[in-house]
Amino acid sequence: MTAGPGDDRPRAPRILLGVSGGIAAYKAAELVRALVREGAEVRAILTRRAEAFVTPLTLATLTGHPVERTEFGEPPSPSILHIDLVRWADALVVAPATGNVLARFARGLADDLLSTVYLAFDGPVVVAPAMNPRMWDHPETRENVARLGHRGAVIVPPEEGFLACGDEGAGRLAPLEAIVAEALAAARRSSSLDGVHVAVSAGPTFEPIDPARFVGNRSSGRMGFAIAAAARARGARVTLVHGPVTITPPWGVETVAVRTALEMREAMHEAARTARVVVMAAAVADHRPAGPAERKISRKEPWSLELVPNPDILAELVAARRPGQVIVGFAAETHDLVERAKAKKQRKGCDLLVANDVSGAGSGFEADDNRVTLIDEQGRAEPWPLMPKRQVAERLLDRIEPLLAERPAP
Ligand code: C5P
């Protein structure tokens, strides 16, 4: 982020602050002050109900910008306000976020300016909920928060404490310092991979036995898709090479659909010719049936299937590594996770290796969450807690970026 050609000064991070209508909205004024003190430029959107708690004049004075309240601007302007705002912003921060706002975001409603902006914004989103503990604990709210987390929003959870309504419990807006830190980090992320080509593989491969049957595996592609989405949100140009999956590719990435390991190999070598970052998150079949039958094989008993090894694409990509390239592998294991992953990283020669235990439910294959252990550049194991795959993706990119910076592009 620079101020302009020939000027290396970083320009101020641009935060679009959405304030929704809970009592904690009174804290929005302090939040704006804190963001501005940290050097951010802030524009605020007030929902209709938030105006009952904090006035547009207060936030306009503190931000130095008119406060936006309706989809059409006031006075109505010929430009398309929500698009102007999302083009301007590096990050969208919603604090406080009411249960209503969480629900509307989670379901993609666009019936006021803030929810329309959320739908139109493809950069980093930070959400700081605040509400009565019973509302916060409601299963619908839980589900909405989880949904937003899986879509990449950073949730700054509310604290336990004494609330304005007189109840005690979790629901009080997070400390302003926590929201400010997440907001600034999000704004930085929005362009940290600007112009960088990232190639990601995802999903299983299906290896044909005959025209009707194949050997496959349970990979859903969610982890690789999350990495592609996170890299794209940081400004990268992303090529996503994926095997047969049922999930929808993230917006704005180039997809290459393949079926077999041999097709994936070709597509990944092609993408790696220009990629600075290569992430092999696919669960490539280690073997394929030898010479698949041209016609459907009929019942034979007994019948044995001869398998031949597939090429190790990751090892090949490492062997063909371009100058400045960062290469990341994955390892799905069911036992001796750390030892096997460390050995695998050494054998394959990648820079980082993400090991996941696929033996348990709720993590690994087909799940929305993942508990992984990162094997870092020095071969040290770093266990990460269970979290949405999108958060695993963000943390992984946070580790890839310094390696990229150490290895300037040729
Ligand atoms: O050896 P293993 O299959 O456990 O290695 C996993 C890593 O290697 C993953 O990054 C996977 O995408 C990659 N791989 C590959 N080619 C294969 C098998 C796995 O690139 N044939």
**Is 250 found in the same domain as 184?**
no
* 7 pLDDT more than 70: no
CA of 219 from ligand 1 middle (Å) equals 13
Peptide bond into 244 cis (omega under 30): no
Of 169, 189, 209, the position where a domain reaches its end is: 189
* Domain contains 80: yes
Tell me: do 322 and 398 sit in the same domain: yes
8 falls within a domain? no
CA of 266 to the centre of ligand 1 (A): 15
* Residue range of the domain that includes 318: 197-406
154-191 residue pLDDT tens:
999 999 988 887 888 889 999 999 999 999 999 999 99
Pocket test for ligand 1, best of 219, 313, 358, 372 (most atoms within 8 A of CB): 313
Q: Quick check: 2 pLDDT over 50?
A: no
Q: Is the CB of 316 under 6 A from ligand 1?
A: no
Q: Answer whether residue 3 is part of any domain.
A: no
**Residue 252 placed within a domain:** yes
N-terminal to C-terminal alpha carbon distance within the chain: 22
Neighbours of 67 (CB within 10 A): 23
Looking at the fold, whether 21 and 49 belong to one and the same domain comes out as yes
Q: Are residues 287 and 399 in the same domain?
A: yes
Whole-prediction pTM value? 0.89
Q: Tell me, what amino acid is at 248?
A: T
Residue 83 has pLDDT above 80, yes or no: yes
What's the pLDDT tens digit per position in 387-400?
999 999 999 999 99
Mean pLDDT of the chain: 92
Weakest-pLDDT range from 8-17, 144-153, 217-226: 8-17
Rounded average pLDDT over 46-67: 95
Query: Is a pLDDT exceeding 50 seen at residue 130?
Result: yes
Spatial CB neighbours of 308, under 8 Å, sequence gap ≥ 6: 287, 288, 289, 290
| DSSP assignment string, 118-183 | HHH--S-EEEEE---HHHHHSHHHHHHHHHHHHTTPEE-PPEEEE-TTS-EEEEEPPPHHHHHHHH
Give yes or no: residues 286 and 375 share one domain: yes
Instruction: Record the tokens describing residue 277, joined without a space.
Output: 């970052």
Helices 389-406 + 222-233 axis angle, to 10: 50
Does residue 117 share a domain with residue 21?
A: yes
Distance (Å, whole) CA 219 – CA 358 = 10
Last residue of a domain, one of 189, 209, 228: 189
| pLDDT of 1 higher than 70 | no
The percentage of residues in the chain with a pLDDT greater than 90, rounded to a whole number, is: 79
Q: Is the pLDDT of residue 214 over 80?
A: yes
Query: Is the domain of 223 the same as that of 330?
Result: yes
Catalytic residues: 165
Does 125 share its domain with 240? no
Residue 396 domain-assigned? yes
Q: What number of other Cβ atoms are within 10 A of residue 285's Cβ?
A: 23
* CATH code of the domain in which 24 resides: 3.40.50.1950
290 and 182 within one domain: no
Is 238 domain-assigned? yes
93 and 211 fall within a common domain = no
- Residue after which a domain boundary falls, among 141, 167, 189: 189
Same-domain check for residues 120 and 208: no
Q: What is the structure's pLDDT at 357?
A: 85
Examine residue 120 and state whether it is found in any structural domain, yes or no.
yes
Burial of 388 per CB tally in 10 Å (0-12, 13-18, 19+): buried
Ligand 1 within 6 A of 268 CB?
Answer: no
Closest CA to 118 of 155, 160, 79, 89: 89
Exposure class string for 304-342: b at 16+ Cβ within 10 A, else e: eeeeeebebbbeebbeeeeeebbbbbbbbbeeebeeebb
The answer to the question of residue 2 being in a domain is: no
> Crossing angle of helices 56-63/28-37, nearest 10°?
0
User: Within this chain, do residues 28 and 49 fall inside the same structural domain, yes or no?
Assistant: yes
Is the distance from the beta carbon of residue 282 to the nearest atom of ligand 1 less than 6 Å? yes
The DSSP call for residue 91 is: E
